[in-house]
Chain A
């Protein structure tokens, strides 16, 4: 008997369709894995085994009745707790939304249910998706299933989609949703040895997703391999009239057109990403990636993205600016936490509620954002950042005249220990150095496992593509995956 929790999306659907096992058996197996790991890994904020079983029962009934099954049929998934789920607590990992039960379902989660997926639970994350280690959650940090050899120090699963990365790599879920504002899908995927793609900005509807930075936020899948990511992204993507920034384009058949053949393709290697003092293991895995793509038939070209060094400062102006405004709605008036001290007026209620409800990193970013938008500083910071953002996007446009996709590391290192960087926000922000430029330019980008570093922890490689060219990104990622032969998985200790 196959261990059902070892299977990914494609294998589960196939097994269910072929009658090898039932969707209910799959849901039951994953529910058990989730329950068993919850105390040690803390990947979920809310677990919903009944939802997983309910969806599975429907699939089994549909199959019995001969009803056509969707592309995610019988696949139980984890839902990042940034997506509003009808009647299931949605918190963005913040106290300010504790107990909030949406009376609506996000477009992306609804599409997944419509494709036949079921929900195992709501996944932990950095509070309001602000963080790179999942240490800012109000519901405790997520622990990576990975450990250094002969070391029990808990490691960061990456962030902000740390619950998602842990759940998928620990085999608590075959796949999970993530969201990526500056690397929140790619970096945790890299840290935990799984795959994850952030599509072109606008591919997935933001309707019903708790907003962090509206011009950057994009949902995407996190799964065991490239094929599973393609299947799940197809289910998640699509035009949504309820989101003005949604792309009004048909969803391509990414899965059907997957190919690891890179003949005739040019792969750009951005020289600015080869930072001084780059981790030698990261540099080596990058070189491996170059060799693999060459082996797949690609031509390697050197490219330049001259404004790369301005990407992080630009990101840390624009994202907090938007966040400071997006988070103004959490005011204690209509839903979520309300802290109303005795005899307090409206302003006191705002202050008390927001002081009690938001964590320190969220407050830090609200203050940064408020500062950069304030009178007298707006032009120096926000306007300037928008100009630089345009230059960064132009860098990519120029580079894509010379190549089809860009290959780079996903993160500057493998997973660090919990607590290792949380005292110094700047050091934490540096983790996003390779992922932020593609976010600012709105481009599709994917992380796939490339191998293990000297301490036995996964490293990811990042493929960045042209706008709308998820296919190019998926195909190059598949070529890497086929050659990386990444089979390492965390030894079960939980």
Chain B
């Protein structure tokens, strides 16, 4: 159980959280029609006769959507149901042309699974397993536009019929941080698998947040469900605000009612949307237009074989096989693009430096995390939009690995690469940045520095050893950064002895 507690007037309260995440499946076509699914198209340009629910139209399952749901289930070690079925969830709304949503209530395609979260990357003791109850596949609804006409609402059916996975967690989370970590981890897994792009700001992933409070170890309280929360930060805020609201309500003698709520990010509060009394009776029943979904072993095998290395396995491998720190391994596997970029960088660097990957992995990881991320950040860019390719990065790292340039020169070279788009070797050659291993020149520089800093030499010799760094720095400066640091160290030690 999480140690997170709400401090109320009557003592401490625990929070119990479950998330229902809607993730739009990455496919070119909708769940039951051939219409396209591109984001941001002109209203009503991606609508088939089926999506508009014209009379006599029938749904036909798009197997790519089924395949992605199965792969997602496999990625969280879930039970895959070889026999599942689609049900109709009936309700009237203008964005729901059929008057029902095709979903899977009774027999979902994916059963029990689990996701492991870790609240602190550096502390394995903060690991926790969050249960996933089920994943089912369903249609998205269209969208109402209320700002197009003074008295009417317009309907955009582009999203109508788009495939969603609903991923339902167990109420296993106990703090905003755990809820946030679960959602982030789920998003990472979906992006690794490629079943959802995870773009929460475009609505391709959104969460319904179920929150209840109770006295530590007590009976479960009544839960509320806050709908369509579209960022990790907001999910955490919803948990916090909703838990506080419920505690205050109960301690004031009130009762939490089971209801649907909405989150208002501007005021950072949740608001009642509708209570259980006006809850719909959805009249679920098996969709008679669709046969049960039966998956054969060959299909499941193909799904399994197509799964990439998943974030947990990758992180583990980075730590054990590549010797990366737990923190670096975690940063590099948090986003699928980062991991992909890193692996190309690593392969290319090892090849260029003619060294095993494990020998250059730490250097590559450190450079990517501390140098490149920083530089890109300043430019307001990300890895996806990086002007530097992994191969270009590898060229730079190989120059450091074979001592052609020093680490500090590498920083300058990176800046020039970003400015000019030129390759590292070309910049080093053109600007004469090659590291000097000419001991004569270095010795001469050291001699001048020691001669000009007699007082500091005295202090050093009388025990102020910290000044060694000063002499190294001065020498490097005199050599315009191009001296091999190891040679400077050796020569200085000899001369100051």
Contacts and interface: CB of A to CB of B under 8 A. Distances in A.
A95 to B, nearest CB: 14
Interface string B90-108: 1011100111100000000
Contact of A333 (B55, B100, B155, B288): B155
Contact of B288 (A210, A214, A329, A350): A214
Contacts of B94: 331, 333, 346
A327 B285 CA distance: 15
Contact of B56 (A208, A215, A241, A322): A208
Contacts of A378: 283-285
Contacts of B56: 83-84, 102, 106, 206-211
A304 interface: no
A347 B93 CA distance: 9
B226 to A, nearest CB: 24
B171 interface: no
Given A213-B288, A215-B288, A375-B281, A329 B58 contact: no
A325 B100 contact: yes
A207 B57 contact: yes
**Could you say which interface size class chain B belongs to?**
20 to 34
Interface string B384-413: 000000000000000000000000000000
Contact of B58 (A213, A244, A327): A244
B203 interface: no
B55 A102 contact: yes
A104 B53 contact: no
A370 interface: yes
B289 A214 contact: yes
**Chain A interface, DSSP helix/strand/loop, else mixed:** loop
Contacts of A370: 283
Interface in B28-65: 49, 52-61
A335 B97 CA distance: 11
Given A329-B97, A346-B94, A322 B288 contact: yes
Contacts of B59: 244
Given A90-B55, A334-B53, A329 B99 contact: yes
B257 interface: no
Contacts, number: 100
A378 B282 CA distance: 11
Contacts of B53: 329, 334
Contacts of B60: 241-244
Given A328-B90, A328-B92, A382 B55 contact: no
Nearest to A216: B288
In this complex, the member of A97, A210, A242 whose beta carbon has the largest number of chain B beta carbons within 10 angstroms is: A242
A483 B54 CA distance: 46
B88 interface: yes
A350 B366 CA distance: 62
A321 interface: yes
A373 B283 contact: yes
Contacts of B97: 329, 333-334
Contact of A325 (B49, B52, B55, B283): B283
In this complex, the member of B53, B54, B94, B283 whose beta carbon has the largest number of chain A beta carbons within 10 angstroms is: B283
Given A328-B100, A331-B99, A382 B54 contact: no
Q: Which 3 A-B pairs have the closest CB atoms?
A: A328-B99, A214-B288, A373-B283
B58 A206 contact: yes
A331 B284 CA distance: 19
Interface of B: 49, 52-61, 88, 90, 92-94, 97-100, 153, 155, 281, 283-285, 288-291
Interface of A: 83-84, 90, 92, 97, 100, 102-104, 106, 206-211, 213-215, 241-245, 321-322, 324-325, 327-329, 331, 333-335, 346-347, 350, 370, 373-375, 378, 382
Contact of A244 (B61, B92, B155): B61
B289 A244 contact: yes
Given A206-B58, A210-B55, 13 more contacts: A90-B55, A211-B56, A245-B288, A325-B99, A325-B100, A327-B99, A328-B99, A328-B100, A329-B55, A334-B52, A334-B53, A347-B92, A382-B285
Nearest to B155: A333
B488 to A, nearest CB: 75
In this complex, the member of A84, A243, A334 whose beta carbon has the largest number of chain B beta carbons within 10 angstroms is: A334
9 contacts: A102-B54, A206-B58, A208-B56, A213-B288, A244-B61, A244-B291, A325-B283, A333-B97, A373-B283
B90 A325 contact: yes
Given A244-B59, A329-B99, A333-B94, A104 B285 contact: no
A244 B90 contact: no
A104 B288 contact: no
A207 B285 CA distance: 21
A373 B90 contact: yes
Contacts of A213: 288
A374 B283 contact: yes
Contacts of B285: 321, 325, 373, 378, 382
A331 B55 CA distance: 12
A383 to B, nearest CB: 9
Contacts of A90: 55
Contacts of A208: 56-57
A100 B55 contact: yes
A2 B258 CA distance: 77
